[in-house]
Structure 1
Amino acid sequence: MSYNMYLSALLMAATCCSLAISYLCWKRRELPIAISYGLGMLTGAFYTFGYAFEIVSTSLEHIRFWLRIEYMGIPFGTVLWFIMVLQYTGRQALVRKWLVATLMIVPTITFVSHHTNEWHHLFYKSMTLNYSEGFPLVTLVKGPLYKLHVYYSYSFFVVGMVLMIQMFIKEKLRMKKQVALMIIGSWGPYGFTLVYLSGVIYMPIDISPFGFIISGVFYMWGIYQFNMLRLAPLALQKVFASMQDAVIVFDLDNSLTSFNQSANRVIAGINNKWIGQPAVQVFSQYPVLLEKIKQGPFMEGKVQLAGHADEQFYNVHVSFINDKNQRPVGKMLLLSDVTDMVRSEITLLENARQLRELNTFKDKMFSVVAHDIRDPLAVLVNLMELMEEEMQTYGEDQQEIVNEMGQQIHNTFTLVESLLEWFRSQSGGMIFKPVERDLAQTIQINIRLLLVRIENKQIHIISEIPKDTFVYADKEMLDLIVRNLLSNAIKFTNFGGTIRLRADRSDHKVVVSVSDTGDGITSDQASMLLQEDYPVSSTGTAGEKGVGLGLTLCREFVHLNGGEIWFDSTPAQGSTFYFSIPTLSEASSKQSDSLRGGRA
């Protein structure tokens, strides 16, 4: 049997090797480089398959047929290999549709001219059979289009090899092995073709296809032994692409090899052009991620990425990717969005804080009630006992005692009324529900509730609060604050006096003032007012008495709504009580600050 049969069998083995690599690339077709690499190996399979049958053919017609099969792959192999080199060396950004279309012009001319050579003979000037080796071989006289094809292919081969050699020089030792395998594998078909075309060594047959045997061996070795992550990352599976969490894959040199679609929502601007870029460039805006990917495997929760204006929080998990021998071949960064969980946690903490404040206030109010209700009730009991004794013993007129009892009963009623206001405002379990309210409308409603007292003392009420002045506060609490301050102003204003209400905006807050023309507050009273838990109630200008609970409630309610309360007073000229209340914009800003402060 002639040796051409052995060579044919060897070429069929090379064909199978190329097809196997193409199949592996098809399984990993989500990665652009796998497509160009796989198609390149498929063109080699056409070449080796066609030549395997060409060297065992017995007629010129059969040889022409198998040459056409070979040239279904030969013209396009170099361009596909060059595209693969661009992607492999980190120049994915250059691979555009227009560039690929331009590079394919000459291969297309080669393909068409070869299949139509009988019409023009510009590719092969002549084709004859040669029996010098004991079996028919074709002798080809090359035409100008064949030379164009050769020059074109080797020009790209030289540029591609320069790029891979540059990469080999720059890479670390572990990566040098992978690049070396790629260089040796690429030299296989091109090196053999160069020897054949140069004529340095006499070769009766074209040895170019046998170079694919060298390529197949080294490529398969690289894929299985070194697991070329740049060509076939282990993490790139269907589940990887569809995950809601962002997954970003790096090799051991911290160069980007792959990422899923969810990563686009987390890392600004990431795209396929970044494949092969170092982590320093990928995470230039996210130093916290860069630091973690360099450290190695770890898990850290609730990290806010810099530059995210929408306050997004992520759990960060970095792990090694191991091959079948449990050797690290890369790193995987997993980012899980936990923003909703963090915000819920912050809301719960804020609710817990408010609940603690309300419970503390409740306990304080119970103490106030116990203190304030004890004395008037004790006086009532004593007066009642005294009245009974005197009425039984002397039978005298007890008008003075009855008047004092009436005053004490009135005080007790006022206290109970204040307590009812408090409990009514907290019905449903002490729930704090701030809403946006029209301040001018709130003032007018509460003025109407106090109209009888205002008219009895002939007091002039002037409200300078413009319409559509909106504040953000709990409705019941705001009503109680306004009503108590108005009630106190009425109490301490002389007959025919004036009460003036104003509202001024200041730093996203509204400062409300209630001014009266009463007697003012003494320095001793001023030092204790709004400071003590149990203030002593003063008598009004018409002899009105209170229990001292109103301002305590005002102070607590203003604080709960995020404001402050204070006063100015000039003896014999009157007093002005101020309280601030937030607007909706300020409340939203505080919530954002709370979110930033709650970051782990």
Structure 2
Amino acid sequence: MNPTIELILMSASVVMSGIILFFVYGYRKERGVSYLIGLIACRMIYSASIIMEKSSYLLMDKLIFRHLQSTALNFIVPCFILFVYQLVGREKLVKPIWRVALFSVFALWSLLSWFDSELHVIYRLIELINGHLVTSRTVYSIAFGLLCFSIIVGGVFFLFQYIRNIRSDFRKPGMWVLFLSMFPFALEVARLIQPEWSPWLLSLSVYCGFTGMLMLVIMLRIKFFAVVPFARTIVLDTLQESIVITNASGKIIDSNKQASRWFAGMGHTEISGRDVKELLEPWPEWRRLCESMQEGRATIEAWLDGERKIYNVNVYPVHRLRKQGSVSLVVDVTEKEKHLEQIAQLNRMKDQLFTIVSHDIRSPLASQYQLIAMLEEDQNRFDEEHREIVGMLGDQIRQTLGMTNNLLEWFRSQREDMALRPQWLELSEVAEDCCHMLRAQSEAKQIEMKNAIPAGTRVYADREVLGLVLRNLLSNAVKFTRTGGSVRVSARVSDELATISVSDNGVGMDEKQVLRLFEEKALNSLLGTAGERGTGLGLLVSRQFVERSGGKMWAESRAGQGSVFYFTVRGGKEG
């Protein structure tokens, strides 16, 4: 994991532990809670010191925070012992003098760790390996660790016995909480057995420590104090969504403040105890889901403060098999619907623009292209000045028509309802047609254009899409090939897949240009070897159509040595 992300997540865990500590502090007079507060505080100090250790670079700094970790862990043990004794009702067995003695033992051991550089009682070896502090414990330290773990195991056993005897509906959740809260303990045992695992076990301990504390808090609220009702009120009333809870009889038994305000805005001052048949009469689908206690979603409309609002209502059953009721979450989607309508309007405008470009711009350009092609065929009848004008005019019309075609095809590729019409095609014939369309452009630069696709090569593709892709690749090849160069289109078929390539011996590209070639953000066009202009849309449109056809497109090139563009389509035998 990225070190920065790891530190952020660990810091978030410490903050959440602090929030839990704040809530638990409000119940400090309840049985067992006072020592639970100390336990959570020690875990917070332990987690914070791990973060500081990971953020430090010097051995001395890391060692200080490691000592702080050890101190926090040491004090967790007496807090845990006294917490268990108070929880199970045996706190009278622990006299005040014994409590002082218990804390004194662990305080003394913690003090030894801070002076261990002279005493060498705790650590046998301390090393900084790859930025991580790795320690090797002495026999005394290992023995003390085993003693602590034995004490914790004893406390867990007492908790286990206690949970076994509580009410049956709390027994299973309590066992799960006890099981989950043991993950930090298991990680500390692993650290003792395998010290070299410490760098990554420390991070896990922060996360699992928070989880363990959260589980313990949940366990305690089940039996002794109202952490969840208190937290529930804060959480539910903070939500901007309305929450409505019904029972199996179809009566509303609970709701949050937002739901009360929402119904009050429609004239229902009190909703608790109301029947959904009456209250939800304007919204039959929502009422049906609540009455049947089925999971589902309904879209409803309501008028609040003279404004029409749209809501999504998500209904979830409570204990579906036993049919105990349902929970409804009402989400305001009015703004979302407005945005969707705006998007729909923009899409309609785009389609209108598409139609305008298709009929009012492309058609005249196509006619001009045909006329200029006829003039170019008879250009020998003109003098030199007129031939030059006809050539320049032809280049401009071809470039404009090519740009328009690419723009239209790009619009077409963005339509979700665009349907391709694949069929079996003779690839060499399609390639020959494309070469013929670009013949004037290639002959103007004296470039040899060769169709090397053998007759009988069959592909399964949309003819318009295949022609568009080939024309774009051939046009680019001619554009970036110097006078007297060559362009070649070829194909090979294997495993029912045809790989078509367009190669040239033009200016080529460096590795960086190749990597940026198909990026939408890099939508620009370079001048050709004869100053030809473009929009950069051709490759983008071609790649999108190839991918929609189930193929892929890539390029290979070296600066000064030409380029090869590849794309794949389905090929092989027909049928």
Task: Specify the TM-score bucket, using the shorter chain as the normaliser.
Answer: 0.3 to 0.5
Structure whose CA Rg is larger = 1
What is the TM-score when the length of structure 2 is the normalising length? 0.37
TM-score by length of 1: 0.35
